[in-house]
Amino acid sequence: MKTAVVLGATSGIARALAGELAREGYGLILAGRDLEELEALAADLGIRYGAPARARRFDALDEKSHPAFVEECLEEAIREFGGELEGVVLAYGYLGDQKRAERDFEEARRIVETNFVSCVSVLHQFAAHMEQRGRGWLCVFSSVAGDRGRQSNYMYGAAKGGLSLFLQGLRNRLARSGVRVLTVKPGFVDTAMTFGKEGMMLVASPEAVARGVMKALKKGRDVVYVPGFWRWIMAGVRAVPERVFKKMSL
- Active-site amino acid positions: 156
- The DSSP secondary structure of 92-132, one letter per residue, reads ------HHHHHH-HHHHHHHHIIIIIHHHHHHHHHHHHHHH
Q: What is the rounded CA–CA span in Å between residue 125 and residue 130?
A: 9
> How many H-runs (helices) and E-runs (strands) does the chain carry?
10, 7
φ, ψ dihedrals at 244, nearest 5°: -90, -40
Q: Is the dihedral of CA 46, 208, 171, 119 positive or negative?
A: negative
Q: What is the rounded CA–CA span in Å between residue 46 and residue 27?
A: 10
Q: What is the rounded CA–CA span in Å between residue 10 and residue 194?
A: 15
Cα–chain center distance at 119:
9
Are 145 and 186 in contact by the 8 Å Cβ rule? The answer is: no
Q: What is the rounded CA–CA span in Å between residue 244 and residue 148?
A: 14
Burial of residue 108 (number of CB atoms within 10 Å: 0-12, 13-18, 19+): buried
Peptide bond into 206 cis (omega under 30): no
